[in-house]
Amino acid sequence: MKIDIVIPYTPKDDYTLQSCINSLTKLKECGNVYIISKEDPNIQTEIEYNWIDEAIFPFTKQSIVKINNKILEDRSGWYLQQLLKLFCYTQTQISDTFLVLDSDVIFLKEISFIEYGKLAYNYSHEYTPDYFSCMGRLNYFFEKSVSKSGICHHMIFEKKILEEIFDLIKIDGEKVYETIIKAVDNGFSGFSEYELYFHYIFKRYPKEYTIRNLRYEDVDDYKVGSYIGLDYIANHAYRRK
């Protein structure tokens, strides 16, 4: 089984993008690679990638602020990235099962996303109450279903599951993405696409998926250090020196 990989990208991750894509050779199920961004980054990598222009999607940073004025303009890009991850499935060339990956993640070891015939999900122990409050406003069904967090810099999505989730969210006369943005109460950090998906599948289909532990760290500079024993690292722009 091949799993396509989708990487939303902004120029703040120029430092990591090439290494991020090159590290995909370590993923056993790696299929086609897609980068979603405002402009094609035109980088030379070991793996060929396909560029998707973010302008084809019906939302922008400006429209997000108009939908919900609690979201500040300098934070709107964070919400835009989440919408791009959730709605990239509408691009039919992407496989029905695909991996969304943050562009500052670098894999260090060989990894499979299938264990014992099931899609395997990594986890963290993050907990942000506002994420779950927002989920509950979208539909009472959405809640914290397991003790772990799905926020670990990547997520395996299935198109059929996203459609189930959107069926629970949709309101007559509104686009689903509008409903999501309107439900945000904390404009700085009020919604998580990863938590929404992770807790939905483990509530509705607990026996069809598995949770496993991949070791990772958030680092200050991925080019410094050996990172022995880790499966992957994340080098966020705000941590770089």
For the four alpha carbons of 136, 190, 208 and 206, in that order, the dihedral sign comes to negative
What residues have CB less than 8 Å from 190, skipping those under 6 apart?
70, 71, 130, 131, 134, 184
Q: What is the DSSP string of 140-198?
A: TT----SSSB--SSEEEEEHHHHHHHHHHH--TTS-HHHHHHHT---SSS---HHHHHH
Give pLDDT tens digits for 120-159.
999 999 999 999 999 999 999 999 999 999 999 999 999 9
Alpha-carbon distances, residue 69 vs 73, 76, 111, 183, 185 (angstroms): 9, 10, 41, 12, 10
d(CA 5, CA 200): 21
For the four alpha carbons of 48, 11, 52 and 97, in that order, the dihedral sign comes to positive
pLDDT at 241: 66
d(CA 201, CA 53): 29
Q: Which amino acid is at 85?
A: K
Burial group, residue 168, by CB count within 10 angstroms (0-12, 13-18, 19+): middle
**Number of residues in the chain:** 241
Q: Mapping DSSP to helix (H, G, I), strand (E, B) and coil, where does residue 6 land?
A: strand
Q: What structural domains and CATH numbers belong to the chain?
A: 3-221 (3.90.550)
Give pLDDT tens digits for 72-117.
989 999 999 999 999 999 987 999 999 999 999 999 999 999 999 9
Q: Are 82 and 195 in contact (CB under 8 A)?
A: no
**What's the CA dihedral at 149, 156, 60, 139 to 10 degrees?**
-60
Give pLDDT tens digits for 32-69.
999 999 999 999 998 999 999 999 999 999 999 999 99
Alpha-carbon distances, residue 232 vs 120, 145, 153, 157, 178 (angstroms): 15, 26, 10, 19, 34
When the pLDDT of each residue in the chain is averaged and rounded to a whole number, the result is 96
Give pLDDT tens digits for 225-241.
899 999 999 999 888 86
Widest CA span in the chain: 53
d(CA 25, CA 5): 12
- Pure H helices in the chain: 14-22, 61-67, 76-87, 129-138, 159-169, 176-182, 193-204
Residues 191-211 have a mean pLDDT of 98
